[in-house]
């Protein structure tokens, strides 16, 4: 059993959060309104990306702490 790592999970959460926050830049091109609709969507999606990041980070830390307890218990039984 390997010691659980947290870096990979945080990187994954960061990438997913960035995609949630910045998808309008990639897919929304609104020249008819001067960018007003695009700006509104950006104002809505950036906080959604931040919320996704924070919730994901909290769940990752909770899961990591739980897996450390299991790892330490397994390691103590092995000795």
Q: Express each pLDDT in 41-60 by its tens digit.
A: 778 888 888 999 999 899 88
pLDDT at 54: 92
Nearest to 14 by CA among 71, 53, 60: 53
pLDDT at 36: 66
pTM of the model: 0.68
Q: Is the pLDDT of residue 32 over 60?
A: no
Question: Which are the contacts of 67, defined by CB distance < 8 A and separation ≥ 6?
Answer: 4
Which ranges constitute the DSSP H helices of the chain? 7-27, 36-78
Measured between alpha carbons, how far is residue 60 from residues 29, 36, 54, 70 in Å? 35, 36, 10, 15
């Amino acid at each position: 059993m390997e010691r659980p790592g947290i870096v990979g999970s945080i990187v994954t959460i960061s990438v997913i959060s960035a995609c949630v926050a910045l998808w309008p830049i990639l897919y929304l091109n609104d020249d008819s309104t001067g960018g007003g609709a695009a700006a509104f969507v950006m104002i809505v999606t950036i906080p959604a990306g931040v919320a996704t990041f924070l919730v994901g980070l909290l769940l990752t830390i909770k899961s990591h702490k739980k897996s450390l307890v299991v790892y330490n218990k397994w390691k103590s039984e092995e000795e």
